[in-house]
Amino acid sequence: MAEISIAAPPASPTEAADHAALHRTLFIALAALLVVLPFIPVIGYPFFLMKVLCFALFACAFNLMLGYGGLLSFGHAAYFGFASYVSAYTAKHWGLTPEASILLGTASGAILGLAFGSLAIRRQGIYFAMITLALAQMVYFFSLQTPRFTGGEDGIQAVPRNALLGVLPLSNDTVTYYLVAAIFMAGILLIYRIIHSPFGQVLKAIRDNEARAVSLGYRVNQYKLAVFVLSASLAGLAGATKAVAVQLASLTDVHWSMSGEVVLMTLVGGMGTVFGPIVGAAVIISMQNFLAGLGAWVTIVQGVIFVICVLVFREGIVGVIGKWLKKPL
């Protein structure tokens, strides 16, 4: 993963503190925005916003592995989609409360991540990506072949929104939206903490120069597996939340094109930036939503945007803004 560009690092202790303060401000602004968003016309309908937030969390989870761990997974849909099935199934057929089904979904992402990760980390670069893709395809075909669990081509529809903790009814989309927004904020704050932890430092070192990290005595595979499981769990959290939010789990979520889409969101927004994947997800989901009238042409428009992105601003939207401001975002 030689071509990973990162915004400028802190140049002095005070600057590092400045950046932390900037990030804090941005997180507060983001939280405030999430509170008022449902009241803004045109984009402010909760169903759309929930979708954006779930995919934004998914992209952030993916970016944790690619942007900070230097590991390109091409099968992240497996954790997202499988968790979404588990969450939808347990809510619908076992009648579990949302928090329980979301937790179970997240756990299924973690377990899948542990199993797939321990195989994939044995190889590097393109081989790593191929193994993750192949394993994710197994999950897709499993989902296709087990309609009793996944509903096959129909998916699991009309997932019930049971009362949160058994008491708080998720009576309408707006209430559910605030639950999703809270999960999203918790998720990205956790990711931010991971990036800025001693563990995160080692991770960045491995991304930058794996052989050197080995020669310093780091057992790099254990670190890679750890970030793989963290990323898969968070992708699972996003998928499980999505099943409750949009009340549907379907084959689309485990399909390989979903793995491609999360790569696209991350690159458009800015790989290796904190806020990039959120922006990327918002852009891609908005396009799919507001250009839906174009039908199949949406995919072509998406493709064109991707090509422009790679050619003109490889750092992604937020990466470019960060460069202008000379601050890591």
Among 58, 74, 82, 223, binds another protein (CB under 8 A): 223
Distance from C-alpha of 48 to C-alpha of 133, rounded to nearest angstrom:
29
Q: Which residue, chain included where needed, has tokens 């939808």?
A: 88
Question: Quick one: tokens of 234?
Answer: 């968070």
How far out from the chain centre does Cα 96 lie? 24
Is 3 an interacting residue with respect to another protein (CB under 8 A)? Answer: no
How far out from the chain centre does Cα 209 lie? 25
Query: To the nearest whole angstrom, how small is the minimum distance from the Cβ of residue 316 to another protein?
Result: 16
Using alpha carbons, select from 84, 58, 25 the residue that is nearest to residue 231. 58
Looking at 196-275, list the stretches that DSSP marks H as alpha helix, in order from N- to C-terminal side: 198-208, 210-215, 220-246, 256-269
Stretch that binds another protein, among 82-90, 217-225, 293-301, 314-322 (CB under 8 A): 217-225
Terminal-residue alpha carbon distance, the chain = 21
Is 8 an interacting residue with respect to another protein (CB under 8 A)? Answer: yes
Query: To the nearest whole angstrom, how small is the minimum distance from the Cβ of residue 71 to another protein?
Result: 15
Strands (E), the chain: none
Residues composing the chain: 329
Q: Which is nearer to another protein, 210 or 253 (CB)?
A: 210
Q: Count Cβ atoms within 10 A of the Cβ of residue 6 and give its class: 0-12 exposed, 13-18 middle, 19 or more buried.
A: middle
Is 199 an interacting residue with respect to another protein (CB under 8 A)? Answer: yes
Give the contact letters, 15-54, x = binds to another protein (CB under 8 A), - = no. x---------------------------------------
Among 146, 171, 172, 201, binds another protein (CB under 8 A): 201
Is 198 an interacting residue with respect to another protein (CB under 8 A)? Answer: yes
Is 218 an interacting residue with respect to another protein (CB under 8 A)? Answer: yes
Residues lying near another protein in the complex (CB under 8 A):
4, 6, 8-13, 15, 193-194, 196-202, 204-205, 207-209, 211-220, 222-223, 226, 230
